[in-house]
Amino acid sequence: MKSINPATNQCIKEHRGHTREEVSRILEQVHGDWLLWKETSFKERARFMRTAADILLRERDECASIITSEMGKLKKEARAEVEKCALVCNYFADSAETLLQDEIVTTDYSKSLVTFAPMGVILAVMPWNFPFWQAFRFIAPALMAGNGAVLKHASNVFGAALKIEEIIQRAGFPKNLFRSLIIPSDQVERVIENPVIQAVTLTGSEGAGRQVAGTAGKMLKKSVLELGGSDPFLVMEDADLDQSARVSLTARTMNAGQVCISAKRFIVHEKVAKTFEAKQKELFESLVVGDPSEDATQMAPMARPDLVDELHAQVEKSIELGARLVTGGHRLDRPGNYYAPTILADVKKGMPVYDEETFGPVAAIIQVKDEEEAVFTANDTPFGLGASVWTEDAARGERIARRIDSGMVFVNSMTVSNPSLPFGGTKSSGYGRECSQYGIKEFVNIKTICIQ
Total count of domains within the chain = 2
Domain span at 245: 231-411
Q: Does one domain contain both 25 and 170? A: yes
Region 60-73: mean pLDDT is: 97
Q: Does one domain contain both 323 and 447? A: no
Dihedral sign from CA coordinates of 160, 161, 166, 171 = positive
Q: What is the pLDDT of residue 14?
A: 94
Q: Does one domain contain both 196 and 102? A: yes
Q: Does one domain contain both 40 and 186? A: yes
Instruction: Kindly report the average pLDDT of the chain as a whole number.
Output: 97
pTM for the full predicted model = 0.96
Q: What is the pLDDT of residues 341-398, one digit of tens each?
A: 999 999 999 999 999 999 999 999 999 999 999 999 999 999 999 999 999 999 999 9
Q: Does one domain contain both 207 and 287? A: no
Q: What is the pLDDT of residue 335?
A: 93
**Rounded Cα distance, 390 and 238, in Å:** 8
Q: Does one domain contain both 218 and 311? A: no
Domain assignment of residue 422, yes or no: no
Region 291-304: mean pLDDT is: 95
Q: Residues 180, 151: contact at Cβ < 8 Å?
A: yes
260 among known catalytic residues: yes
Q: Does one domain contain both 384 and 445? A: no
Going across the sheet that includes 231-235, the strands are 324-327, 342-345, 362-368, 263-269, 231-235, 386-390, 408-411
Share above pLDDT 90 across residues of the chain, in percent, rounded to a whole number: 100
Q: Does one domain contain both 439 and 406? A: no
Share above pLDDT 70 across residues of the chain, in percent, rounded to a whole number: 100
Q: Residues 192, 205: contact at Cβ < 8 Å?
A: no
Q: Does one domain contain both 250 and 369? A: yes
Secondary structure tally for the chain: helices H, strands E: 15, 20
* Active-site pick, 70, 226, 357, 442: 226
Contacts by residues 376-380 (CB-CB < 8 Å, ≥ 24 positions apart): 377/232, 377/265, 377/267, 378/232, 378/234, 378/265, 378/267, 378/404, 379/403, 379/404, 379/405, 380/349
Domain assignment of residue 404, yes or no: yes
Region 222-241: mean pLDDT is: 98
Domain assignment of residue 424, yes or no: no
Q: Does one domain contain both 242 and 223? A: no
Q: Which residues pair with 224 in a beta bridge?
A: 201
Going by DSSP bridges, is the β-strand pair 111-118/444-451 parallel, antiparallel, or unpaired?
Answer: antiparallel
Residue 283 has pLDDT above 90, yes or no: yes
Of 176, 170, 178, nearest in space to 51 by CA = 170
Domain assignment of residue 17, yes or no: yes
Amino acid at the residue 265: R
Q: Residues 429, 209: contact at Cβ < 8 Å?
A: no
Domain assignment of residue 172, yes or no: yes
Q: What is the pLDDT of residue 343?
A: 98
Going by DSSP bridges, is the β-strand pair 342-345/362-368 parallel, antiparallel, or unpaired?
Answer: parallel
Q: Does one domain contain both 179 and 280? A: no
> In 188-211, which positions are buried (b, 16+ CB within 10 angstroms) versus exposed (e)?
beebbebebbbbbbbbbebebbeb
CB atoms closer than 10 angstroms to residue 271: 13
Residue 283: which CATH number? 3.40.309.10
Region 26-46: mean pLDDT is: 98
Contacts by residues 185-191 (CB-CB < 8 Å, ≥ 24 positions apart): 185/152, 185/155, 187/20, 187/23, 188/123, 188/125, 188/152, 188/212, 188/215, 189/215, 190/20, 190/23, 191/23, 191/27, 191/123, 191/150, 191/152
Domain assignment of residue 11, yes or no: yes
Alpha helices (runs of H) in 105-187, residue ranges in sequence order: 133-144, 158-170
3-state secondary structure labels for all residues of 233-287: EEECCCCCHHHHHHHHHHHHHHHHHCCCCCEEEEEEECCCHHHHHHHHHHHHHCC
63 among known catalytic residues: no
**CB-count burial class (<10 Å; 0-12, 13-18, 19+) for 43:** exposed
Residue 1 has pLDDT above 90, yes or no: no
Going by DSSP bridges, is the β-strand pair 2-5/178-180 parallel, antiparallel, or unpaired?
Answer: unpaired
Domain assignment of residue 419, yes or no: no
Domain assignment of residue 423, yes or no: no
Torsion of CA 200, 358, 302, 334, to 10 degrees: 160
Q: Does one domain contain both 151 and 23? A: yes
Residue 105 has pLDDT above 90, yes or no: yes
CA atoms within 13 A on the CB side of 418: 7
94 phi and psi angles, rounded to 5 deg: -80, -30
pLDDT band at 288 (very low <50, low <70, confident <90, very high): very high
Q: Residues 178, 124: contact at Cβ < 8 Å?
A: no
* Active-site pick, 63, 85, 89, 260: 260
Residue 38: which CATH number? 3.40.605.10
